[in-house]
Amino acid sequence: DAELMDGGYFRSCAGMLKVAQMISLLIGFISVNNSPWTDYSAYSFFQIVTMCDLVMILFFYVMHIFRVYRKLTCVSWPLAEFLHYLIGTILLLIGSIVAAAKSYNITGLVAGATFGFLATILCVISMWSSYKVSCITQSTSK
């Protein structure tokens, strides 16, 4: 507890997965933002979902690096992270499907939707790993 930061989390599988999610969300956001839009509502929804997911993933990443979860024990952090991934993944999947359907073969919009789907897959992997930590580990430890 003497160290301020958890250096091992940078190199852990969960840490690298969060970084990959943030990078794919950022690339998807930038691709859509720098393209001519054909449908304002579809792409504004996609941008909002990608930025909200990116901010929440960054929040959980910083929380793990600085070990905030050890000090704030009143919150079930594995459950909070699981619920974030559950809701965020569903919204990201919907946004990516709509973005892909409304892209009309515009390269930047197709790239944004593709990176949205990639981020969705990475979020499903994170959701599964956080489910294993929060539900399966607790049920076997009883």
- Residues 51-108: tens digit of each pLDDT: 999 999 999 999 999 888 888 889 888 889 989 999 999 999 999 999 999 998 899 9
Confidence label for 10 from pLDDT (cuts 50, 70 and 90): confident
The answer to whether position 86 is within a domain reads yes
String of b and e for 61-85 (b: at least 16 CB within 10 Å)?
A: bebbbeeebeeeeeeebbebbbebb
Are 75 and 126 part of one and the same domain? Answer: no
pTM of the model: 0.88
Chain centroid to CA 101: 22
Q: Mean pLDDT check: name the lowest of 32-36, 76-80, 115-119.
A: 76-80
Cβ–Cβ < 8 Å for 86, 131: no
Are 46 and 91 part of one and the same domain? Answer: yes
Residue 141 and residue 18: Cα distance in Å, rounded? 27
The predicted pLDDT at position 78 comes to 86
Are 100 and 46 part of one and the same domain? Answer: yes
Are 127 and 83 part of one and the same domain? Answer: no
Cβ–Cβ < 8 Å for 112, 29: yes
Which residue range forms the structural domain that includes residue 118? 107-141
With a cut of 60, say whether residue 138 has pLDDT above it.
no
Are 92 and 58 part of one and the same domain? Answer: yes
The predicted pLDDT at position 117 comes to 98
Residue type (1 letter), 103: S
The predicted pLDDT at position 22 comes to 98
Q: Mean pLDDT check: name the lowest of 37-41, 83-87, 107-111, 137-141.
A: 137-141
Q: For residue 102, which of 31, 40, 26 has the smallest C-alpha distance?
A: 40
Residue 52 and residue 139: Cα distance in Å, rounded? 31
Mean predicted confidence (pLDDT) in 29-57: 93
The residue that leads in pLDDT, 19 or 138, is: 19
